[in-house]
Chain A
């Protein structure tokens, strides 16, 4: 690991000032990504600004049943919060199916959104990677791409977004609060994660010195009936091959409203809007679920080793829909 300087800050303004005034400074929160990236030499800041003392770790109630998650709230604390477990079970499930207990105790919610891809070519310092060195090419497209994305890809990058909790959060239209040298702003969850396109090195709309301060989950009563299904090579402590987060509301025997997020199949946490459209107003039966899932996965671009993800993603979505439909509740 290259030598680094260290500054600990205790308020948001100082954190932003320190980082914004120095292009070589990066924030250090839980460290589960940052320290790892420092060690493998992919992150090369001159200095880390330790933000763990900032007072932005609370889990608060919002009017109407929403929840505000402080950016430094730990994954384990958010998963345990009764309000999250009751109102948004798929969020708690996604958190507890991510990483390990030790890492969930460390990792912050803001850091989770800022984590880098697990593409081994990105993390291996000598392979061509447009994310790490723009214009150098993509070794994954014709390489070992079993874990890579089939949706939202470009000819420049097919890395899968690794976050679990981002999948239910995109289904819930969560909102990211950002503070920077120019003040505060909010970004909708689906706009926070950028498709790779021609600029795969640009993963977020966050500028240097800008800090995520909170993530809001808006009220959504129907999310009490929700489920996160994660499919992976081993039962625990592994990234998703495919994942689906589903919340559904029935109305007079048909689907009144449905929200679907997909993980493991796309370059960003994927909002399954095509499937949602197909399902709305329809009876919740297997045939409809399969049609919706097929339509969502239709644009899948298969590479040499990841073609199975289109089919596995379809099945994952169908099973998650069936699971939520079977929960019954308000008809």
Chain B
């Protein structure tokens, strides 16, 4: 996935704090109170103060103001909070933020290259693949991933591999056609 590290910048670091990507301390207990957690999101390193119980979804939305991932069911059932961790799509509501130290998190905000939308974002616009738009960030993260995973051969397969993302407006036919369009445009180019 070539879109992950487009805008790499680094925030100021607290001196003396090891980077999470370096050797993690073994068996050091942290919390239950607030601890410093280092998250790499869309190529930017952030240090935040959170309790270990905070989900990745809440850390993104409430502490980093990255509000693309949406809070729907908060129990892994709706897919609105789908993000990539190390390039794999996961639900951020069932992921503890602290467990993401040392891993790369990508949200819908990390898809566009400056003002240029990711082809899947562009296809969602062109195919009218969202109505209220609440589920759309998660749908986009899954839609891109399923093509990368090689699960876009036909509509039945697309629907099955998108089934972890629920849309209550039933924009499914347009989501499918957006995914088909990106699949067909990228065939041979992967």
**Partner-B contacts on A (CB < 8 A):** 1-11, 14, 17-18, 28, 31-32, 35-36, 38-40, 46-48, 50, 52-53, 76, 99-103, 105-106, 236-237
List the A side residues contacting B161 at CB < 8 Å: 101
Please state if B145 and A5 are interface contacts (CB–CB under 8 Å): no
Q: How far apart sit A196 and B42, CA to CA, in the bound complex (Å)? A: 47
Please state if A32 and B94 are interface contacts (CB–CB under 8 Å): yes
Q: Which residue of A lies closest to B149 (CB)?
A: A101
B24, B31, B90: the one contacting A5 at CB < 8 Å is B31
Please state if B26 and A11 are interface contacts (CB–CB under 8 Å): yes
Please state if A8 and B99 are interface contacts (CB–CB under 8 Å): yes
Q: Which residue of A lies closest to B83 (CB)?
A: A102
Beyond A46-B32, A101-B161, 20 additional contacts (C-beta under 8 Å) are A1-B53, A3-B32, A3-B33, A6-B52, A31-B99, A35-B55, A35-B93, A35-B95, A36-B76, A48-B52, A50-B99, A99-B164, A101-B149, A101-B163, A102-B79, A102-B82, A105-B88, A105-B90, A106-B94, A106-B95
**Chain B proximity of A78: nearest CB distance (Å):** 14
B160 on interface, CB distance cutoff 8 Å: yes
Q: How far apart sit A100 and B149, CA to CA, in the bound complex (Å)? A: 14
Please state if B79 and A3 are interface contacts (CB–CB under 8 Å): no
Q: Which residue of B lies closest to A97 (CB)?
A: B160
Q: How far apart sit A155 and B170, CA to CA, in the bound complex (Å)? A: 43
Please state if A100 and B79 are interface contacts (CB–CB under 8 Å): yes
Given contacts A102-B90, A106-B90, whether A4 and B24 have CB atoms under 8 Å apart is no
Please state if A36 and B75 are interface contacts (CB–CB under 8 Å): yes
Q: Which residue of B lies closest to A10 (CB)?
A: B26
Q: How far apart sit A53 and B142, CA to CA, in the bound complex (Å)? A: 25
The 9 closest A-B pairs by CB, nearest first: A100-B164, A6-B52, A3-B32, A236-B163, A5-B31, A237-B163, A35-B94, A105-B88, A5-B32
The 0/1 profile, CB within 8 Å of A marked 1, for residues 111-150 of chain B is 0000000000000000000000000000000100110010
List the B side residues contacting A99 at CB < 8 Å: 164
Instruction: Offer 5 A-B interface pairs, CB within 8 angstroms, sorted by A.
Output: A4-B52, A17-B27, A38-B53, A48-B96, A236-B160
List the A side residues contacting B30 at CB < 8 Å: 5-7
List the A side residues contacting B75 at CB < 8 Å: 36, 39-40
Please state if A39 and B31 are interface contacts (CB–CB under 8 Å): no
B47 on interface, CB distance cutoff 8 Å: no
Q: How far apart sit A99 and B151, CA to CA, in the bound complex (Å)? A: 16
Q: How far apart sit A47 and B94, CA to CA, in the bound complex (Å)? A: 16
The 0/1 profile, CB within 8 Å of A marked 1, for residues 65-85 of chain B is 000000000111001001000
A3, A4, A6, A106: the one contacting B91 at CB < 8 Å is A106
Given contacts A3-B33, A5-B31, A7-B30, whether A102 and B99 have CB atoms under 8 Å apart is no
Please state if A105 and B89 are interface contacts (CB–CB under 8 Å): yes
Please state if B79 and A36 are interface contacts (CB–CB under 8 Å): no
B29 on interface, CB distance cutoff 8 Å: yes
List the B side residues contacting A48 at CB < 8 Å: 52, 96
Q: Which residue of A lies closest to B138 (CB)?
A: A102
**Chain A proximity of B37: nearest CB distance (Å):** 9
8 A Cβ contacts from B2-44 to A: 24-33, 35
Q: How far apart sit A36 and B94, CA to CA, in the bound complex (Å)? A: 6
List the A side residues contacting B142 at CB < 8 Å: 101-102
Q: Which residue of B lies closest to A2 (CB)?
A: B53
Q: How far apart sit A286 and B93, CA to CA, in the bound complex (Å)? A: 47
List the A side residues contacting B94 at CB < 8 Å: 31-32, 35-36, 103, 106
**Chain B proximity of A228: nearest CB distance (Å):** 15
List the A side residues contacting B108 at CB < 8 Å: none
A2, A8, A32: the one contacting B24 at CB < 8 Å is A8
**Chain B proximity of A31: nearest CB distance (Å):** 5
Q: How far apart sit A35 and B168, CA to CA, in the bound complex (Å)? A: 25
Please state if B26 and A14 are interface contacts (CB–CB under 8 Å): yes
List the B side residues contacting A36 at CB < 8 Å: 75-76, 94
List the A side residues contacting B28 at CB < 8 Å: 7
Q: Which residue of A lies closest to B23 (CB)?
A: A10
Q: How far apart sit A3 and B94, CA to CA, in the bound complex (Å)? A: 15
Please state if A101 and B146 are interface contacts (CB–CB under 8 Å): yes
List the B side residues contacting A1 at CB < 8 Å: 53
Please state if B91 and A101 are interface contacts (CB–CB under 8 Å): no
Please state if A7 and B55 are interface contacts (CB–CB under 8 Å): no
Q: How far apart sit A3 and B30, CA to CA, in the bound complex (Å)? A: 11
List the A side residues contacting B76 at CB < 8 Å: 32, 36, 102-103
A17, A35, A103: the one contacting B164 at CB < 8 Å is A103
Please state if B91 and A102 are interface contacts (CB–CB under 8 Å): yes
